[in-house]
Structure 1
């Protein structure tokens, strides 16, 4: 089965977003990341700013944040509404065209399709710290804090909505260490797997 959809989950600072963008360019297919925020906002009726902050990251740093989130009479929280809107948009995009989708639990949302390649990009702490320091113009100490915060919030969101463990190898087709392989080699491996 030819794989036509690539999902990229990634640790903060591993270059996963950059790798996904390059793969999409080289394959000549659509690339979805922050550019789907407006669609999710439209679907959910919430502001794009709120979606940008909440669609992939947990609102707080603990799993209980979801359990105790304010819920309406149907039992849904705002986070649930965001997740459902995001899920609908991702399913529609996958149906419409070949594409690369970064983050947003897309690997789980598209798990019933057999034309999906799920990739998890991770890296070594020194390289990720340097990359974040450079990209966000912060100290290495601040970069380490940012990394811990973003990854923890991604993990909580993923674990809550998928009932799986974020970053666990068995949830993905490929797990690549961008620090050891380099971005270019990661891109080549992903493309080789898609073109098989």
Structure 2
């Protein structure tokens, strides 16, 4: 069964490319299913589980929990308020997430978006690890065009998400998510059209598989 992990900086179309690759490979696209399964296992609401998940395009409470332990991390009162009242520990949620990912990969295969998949599934036989990235300027423009928001707001969202997602990986896995050694393939999906990115990933996945 095919396994592909995709690490995507904000504005690179991971949520579009991932499902397309999964459909072509005939495997699940594993994104929201992970926090849902963890929430069910822990007996908490999906909203509470998402407070620790590294995926999502609104709100950073789920990532700032981990960032609180990082040196030189500064947060405003509004950001800190997002963290109050959440009963889970970041370590517990991360451990459960890793287990769910490994079980899913073993049982059905899948295309895994985010959650340090290239690290968690580094030893899975035949897994392909992909990084989607691109220059900040182009990612901001893509976000603004896709969301219909002003460029200034798009830049704020892209920078905040980049910072938080990178902090999540550094905090729990002690690696830089931009390290090319983690991946078999790095694509600039701000210039390579989505259908071509999908075909390139499929070709590589089939070669490894």
What is the alpha-carbon distance in structure 1 between the residues aligned to residue 12 and residue 102 of structure 2?
26
Checking the alignment, whether the CA contact within 8 Å between 1:122 and 1:177 is kept in structure 2 is yes
Checking the alignment, whether the CA contact within 8 Å between 1:13 and 1:147 is kept in structure 2 is yes
What is the alpha-carbon distance in structure 1 between the residues aligned to residue 90 and residue 151 of structure 2?
32
Q: RMSD of the TM alignment (CA)?
A: 2.0
Identify unmatched segments of 5+ residues in structure 2.
55-61, 72-87
What is the alpha-carbon distance in structure 2 between the residues aligned to residue 53 and residue 40 of structure 1?
12
CA offsets per residue over residues 72-91 of structure 1, 9 Å max, x none? xxxxx711111011111101
**Alignment partner of 1:109 is 2:107:** no
Which residue of 1 is the match for residue 48 of structure 2? 50
Question: TM-score, with normalisation over the residues of structure 2?
Answer: 0.81
Which residue of 2 is the match for residue 35 of structure 1? 33
What is the alpha-carbon distance in structure 2 between the residues aligned to residue 125 and residue 42 of structure 1?
37
Checking the alignment, whether the CA contact within 8 Å between 2:67 and 2:168 is kept in structure 1 is no
Q: 2:22 aligns with which of 15, 21, 24?
A: 24
What is the alpha-carbon distance in structure 1 between the residues aligned to residue 100 and residue 118 of structure 2?
14
What is the alpha-carbon distance in structure 1 between the residues aligned to residue 97 and residue 163 of structure 2?
20
What is the alpha-carbon distance in structure 2 between the residues aligned to residue 126 and residue 147 of structure 1?
10
Which residue of 1 is the match for residue 171 of structure 2? 160
Which residue of 2 is the match for residue 69 of structure 1? none
Number of matched residues? 184
**Alignment partner of 1:188 is 2:195:** no
TM-aligned CA distance change 1:32 to 1:18, over 3 Å: same
**Alignment partner of 1:10 is 2:15:** no
What is the alpha-carbon distance in structure 1 between the residues aligned to residue 3 and residue 143 of structure 2?
28
Checking the alignment, whether the CA contact within 8 Å between 2:66 and 2:168 is kept in structure 1 is no
Checking the alignment, whether the CA contact within 8 Å between 1:44 and 1:81 is kept in structure 2 is no
CA offsets per residue over residues 22-53 of structure 1, 9 Å max, x none? 11112221111113221011233332112223
Cα offset for 1:123? 2.0
Cα offset for 1:65? 4.9
Instruction: Note the 1:37-116 alignment, pairs <5 A.
Output: 37-56=35-54, 57-59=62-64, 62=67, 64-65=69-70, 78-116=89-127
- Determine helix, strand or coil for the equivalent of 1:179: coil
